[in-house]
Structure 1
Amino acid sequence: MNNYMSFSKSPIWDLQRRYFEEQGIEAWRDSEVPYYITNNSLLANAYVEMVFGFLKDWARDGNDVKEPIYLLEVGGGTGRCAYFMLKSLESLYMLTTESLPPIRYIWTDLPQKNVDFYASHPRFATFVQNETLDFARFDVEQDNELYLIHSKKLITTSSLTQPIIVIANYFFDSIPQDLFFFRNGQAFECQVSLEQPEPENTDSITESLTNLQLKYGYLRVETIDTGNHYKDQLLEEYQKQIATSHVLVPFVGFDVLERIRRFSQVGFMLLSADKGPCNLQELDGLDTPKLVTHGSFSLNVNYHAMGYLYELQQGKAHFPTHKQSHLNTVCLLMVPNADAFGETRQAYARYVDRFSPDDYFQLKKAFFRHLDHMDFHEILSFLRLSCNDPRLYVQCLPRLLKLSSELRDADKHTLFTLTEQVWDWYYDIGDQEDLAFLIGTLLYQMDFYEEAIEFYQNSLQKDGPLYYNMGICYYRLMKDEECLACMELSLGLDPESVDAKRIIHELERNDI
């Protein structure tokens, strides 16, 4: 553990890999690994607007509009970004009058059990059936081909005649990175050794990562020679421009993109969201990186380096023009005439630079500070701003429940319509509250009894309170037989329920 080695070759990356392979979707179900900031409907909508801008640019340049363009998500995680994007793409294709290439979304991840789980998820079934969606296991550090499990198609070098669109959320921060130290025009490779403060007596990868202490050593770089001309130019630029700083450099991430780029004959577009610097000034004065542990661990992503590496090759990087607090959303174009992709540039300006996903999350903090005092219309306005994000809706439900009984009929119908839209966008992996039950309760309070029953039937609870609530809905609808059946189920699951006993006694007394 005490041997020094290159940061990108450190055993921490093997622990990281093992964590995700062993945990599978459990990493997301218990929220041990944060994901919401890059798996919400607002970010997905911003991505889709840029994708659509890209499709328009590609079509207007006289390129093929019949052959599909593949959209490849790497490290797909929860699957929510994919679902939100597919729903949004479906809507935009219905609205457009232009002839645009169809999209084929390919969801990938490292653990095979994740791929198997999401490939059979009921929310994805329609998209799989209409051949809009497929799945593949993809080891980004090793694989040079993709095998699509539904279409049985093998994608290899130059398989695709159209450009490929890459989605990478909280991805580059979780794969190996190199680390350099620059000072006074000199460059040093930072090497690392790992130490445990106490003997390791746990099989928990999370505990191992949390307890690790990193020790750094510095190896003077006499001559910059990585074996890649563009990487060399990047390090030379940093050597000249950075006064004193430790700089993470995503050479492995660059190699991943180059491997993906070879699938296509014409290049790629990258859409990525993560924490990390986009300009050179942010790279100066940095200390050694600290591992942020949350089940796995993460580091910042040097987006400036990625933009620099591709702009050396006539690519185009779109970065925010104002500093982001937590999350940078970036767009890299590596296609012929990248500077001429005006629709893509405008979409980035509208949906990221003008008001970014990071700006939304800053505003969301203020929203929650005042939520308990907000009225119905203020809450609905913010829900619409979020693109009807299901998680935000769940967080607003307690306030909406308090307000619901006093709403006018027109407002009740407005809330019901929005609720249906939220449900349509809801994607369950077993990590959130039972949304169907919560919606059923809201609709019951608004006197939407038949609709409440439908949601209760979709609930996962199947306990006494569920059947009691369903029974009350039937009671209000004067469907006594159905009410009695529900109350008997409720009493069977909760024998102490005084209310269920009372309703049963009343119905039996009326001799239904």
Structure 2
Amino acid sequence: MPPQQALPVKPDAGPGADACCHREVAGKRPRQPYRTTQDGSPRVQAMTQAGGADPSAVRLSQSRLWLETQSYYAEQGHQAWASGAIPFYLTNTPYLAAAYAELIAAWWHPAAGPGPYRILELGAGSGRFAYLLLQELAARFTSPTAWCYIASDGSQRTLDFLRAHPQLAPQFAAGQLELARTSPDRTGPIELQISGQMLAPGPAPVVVIANYVFDSLPQDCFVVRDGRLYECLLVEAPLTTANRQAPTPLPPRFELHQVAWNYYQDADLDLVLGRYRNGPDNRAILLPCMALRWLRQLRTQLGERLLLLVADKGYGEGQVGEVGAPTIEQHTPACASMMVNFDAIGTYVAAAGGTTLAWLPPAAPLGTVAYALDAGPHGDDRRREGLRQAFANAFIRRAPMDLFALVEQASRNPLALSLPALIGLLRLTRYDPTLFSNCFTTLLQGARQAPAVMRRDLLDCVREVWQRFYPIGANEPLAVQCGALLLEFGAPAEAAAILADAAAGPPPNPPAMFLLGRCLAAVGDKRAAHKHIAGALAIEPACEDYLCAVGILPHRMAQEEAAQLGWEIALDGLDRA
């Protein structure tokens, strides 16, 4: 923030309890209008000091912004991610799941004590990350009863989606997966919805995962100037009948009010706030008050031996504070998020006797932090050192953002990479379905010209990618893409097994139906083949245009294939007569 002249300041606003807005709301809520800048990045427009009280200025943590955001997730359920409105790719990759599995294996060192071991994921959302991590854990821990993964969310609608998802059915049946309703304002014991049991502290250390969670929780904002503390109050647009129906894009602003350093009258939060007494001056310092309270609550619910893994946008020690007003990123008119002050959480963890391991590259869209709270007789140095080494291997030495930069480049211009380079990149990402899908046409064209040994490598890639696929929306293209390559490789029965569910829907998928028909024709089931090809054309006559556009078909041939199959079926009938 540029230097400002001394201005009159507001009197001490005093402490106050944070409004907890992280709850499910059935009805619609008025939208909070935020304007974006010319380059499209949403930002608050001003942060000022003023002498007169603005009645619409509220604590940032009590803004309608947070209630609106949580209402959006509750109303949308998994569609919040299926629609593409909310970014989630970076925290739902096979690479991140494998990295977390390394950290968990180090945390669950044999010296950790007897099991069962438990993992609680906060804000599980679509369930894709849970699905990927469950695969990695199953490969590392052979006893299915030794651990349990608890996918939790604040929205029951989201949990119902997870319970019904066919990809998670084996894990539910094996007792490896549970569901729970969690949010910062649910302070009692955590109830497991499958078994009906209550989650209570146990002898084994617990792992808590919070990917893209803390950035959408209520937080406060402060500025330090010459040792004095100022709270940044958000000036909200007044609610009227007009902006309830059609919000006016008014530019929000902040007002600075001088407050006392014991602002929260809460020993833990005031200790964290006091860390910034000596600066940096004139920078917006976010205080993740709700995340800190939730962490404190989880220590009561789960026990003192806890590993918290966080992947989110934010900053750490030495990076604290934005110049100017803090950024509010508006994903939709009803859903927003802010940066996370990882340093503040680390201050709380250090005061509790824990340690922080952070990978926060400057200007990166995602950082990863491990907070290890390991009190008691089982907290041995050997296990802590194992965790440090695992974190260094998974994040600091391998630099995941460098890999994601390559993935982004390959996805934008797959023709720039040779087929061996694309296969190698797929291996490095641990067979990322998104990368495979984005580069499919190039992979298919390369496969048709590749030598036999490379075709076998690509065939292995297809199988590995399909194993990691977790659909969250209708008619996702991966089934068609994997089926097309398997058919190209001369594996029609295997391709048909992949295509069958996609073809049936709901809703029915005409390209998948057409390819399934070709697979069935290849294995000699002409009647079923004709049914699927003709059915695909009846639902969507232009489906073969799509198949031609992505390179699966060299030219339009669906009508001819349907007619030929019909003719062969008729001839077969004469032969039987």
TM over 0.5: yes
The SS at the match of 2:216 is coil
What letter corresponds to residue 408 of structure 2 in structure 1?
K
Which of residues 192, 195, 210 is equivalent to 2:237? 195
Unaligned runs of 5+ in 1: none
Matches for 1:48-447 after TM superposition, within 5 Å: 48-56=101-109, 59-60=110-111, 63-65=112-114, 67-94=115-142, 102-156=146-200, 159-195=201-237, 200-201=242-243, 203=245, 208=247, 211=249, 213-279=251-317, 281-284=318-321, 286-295=323-332, 296-320=335-359, 322-323=361-362, 325-336=364-375, 337=379, 340=382, 341-430=384-473, 433-447=476-490
Which of residues 53, 69, 83 is equivalent to 1:16? 69
What letter corresponds to residue 99 of structure 2 in structure 1?
A
Cα displacement (A) at 1:223? 4.2
What letter corresponds to residue 471 of structure 2 in structure 1?
D
Equivalent pairs counted in the alignment come to 496
Which of residues 491, 494, 511 is equivalent to 1:448? 491
The SS at the match of 1:429 is coil
Is contact 1:144-1:259 (8 Å) kept?
no
Is contact 1:196-1:213 (8 Å) kept?
no
The SS at the match of 1:77 is coil
Between 77-86 and 314-323, report the one with greater CA deviation: 314-323
> For 1:452-490, what per-residue CA distance to the aligned partner results, in whole angstroms no more than 9, with x for missing partners?
222221324645554443333344444444444445545
Q: Does 1:503 align with 2:549?
A: no
2:78 is matched with which residue? 25
Between 394-403 and 440-449, report the one with greater CA deviation: 440-449
Separation (CA, whole Å) in 1 of partners of 2:303 and 2:465? 39
Separation (CA, whole Å) in 2 of partners of 1:335 and 1:170? 24
Between 348-357 and 472-481, report the one with greater CA deviation: 472-481
What letter corresponds to residue 117 of structure 2 in structure 1?
I
Unaligned runs of 5+ in 2: 1-53, 543-557
Matches for 1:489-500 after TM superposition, within 5 Å: 489-490=535-536, 493=539, 498-499=559-560, 500=562
What letter corresponds to residue 264 of structure 2 in structure 1?
T
Q: Percent identity?
A: 26
What letter corresponds to residue 390 of structure 1 in structure 2?
P
The 1:22–1:376 alpha-carbon spacing in structure 2 relative to 1, beyond 3 Å, is: same
Is contact 2:57-2:234 (8 Å) kept?
yes
Separation (CA, whole Å) in 2 of partners of 1:289 and 1:235? 17
> For 1:96-121, what per-residue CA distance to the aligned partner results, in whole angstroms no more than 9, with x for missing partners?
xxx99922111111111111110221
What letter corresponds to residue 282 of structure 1 in structure 2?
Q
Is contact 1:416-1:443 (8 Å) kept?
yes
The 1:437–1:226 alpha-carbon spacing in structure 2 relative to 1, beyond 3 Å, is: same
Between 2-11 and 391-400, report the one with greater CA deviation: 2-11
Separation (CA, whole Å) in 2 of partners of 1:2 and 1:398? 58
* TM-score where L is the length of structure 2: 0.80
The SS at the match of 1:282 is coil
The SS at the match of 2:450 is coil
Is contact 1:435-1:459 (8 Å) kept?
no
What letter corresponds to residue 270 of structure 2 in structure 1?
D
Between 12-21 and 482-491, report the one with greater CA deviation: 482-491
Separation (CA, whole Å) in 2 of partners of 1:171 and 1:131? 26
Separation (CA, whole Å) in 1 of partners of 2:129 and 2:509? 31
Separation (CA, whole Å) in 2 of partners of 1:356 and 1:121? 33
Separation (CA, whole Å) in 1 of partners of 2:349 and 2:199? 23
* TM-score where L is the length of structure 1: 0.89
1:42 is matched with which residue? 95
The SS at the match of 1:38 is coil
The SS at the match of 1:213 is coil
Cα displacement (A) at 1:132? 1.1
Is contact 2:361-2:367 (8 Å) kept?
no
Separation (CA, whole Å) in 2 of partners of 1:248 and 1:188? 12
The 1:477–1:407 alpha-carbon spacing in structure 2 relative to 1, beyond 3 Å, is: farther
Is contact 1:247-1:286 (8 Å) kept?
no
> For 1:419-467, what per-residue CA distance to the aligned partner results, in whole angstroms no more than 9, with x for missing partners?
1121111111116623222211222223322222222213246455544
The 1:130–1:399 alpha-carbon spacing in structure 2 relative to 1, beyond 3 Å, is: same
Is contact 2:214-2:340 (8 Å) kept?
yes
Is contact 1:28-1:34 (8 Å) kept?
yes
Is contact 2:360-2:367 (8 Å) kept?
no
Which of residues 490, 493, 518 is equivalent to 1:472? 518
The SS at the match of 1:329 is strand
The 1:220–1:160 alpha-carbon spacing in structure 2 relative to 1, beyond 3 Å, is: same
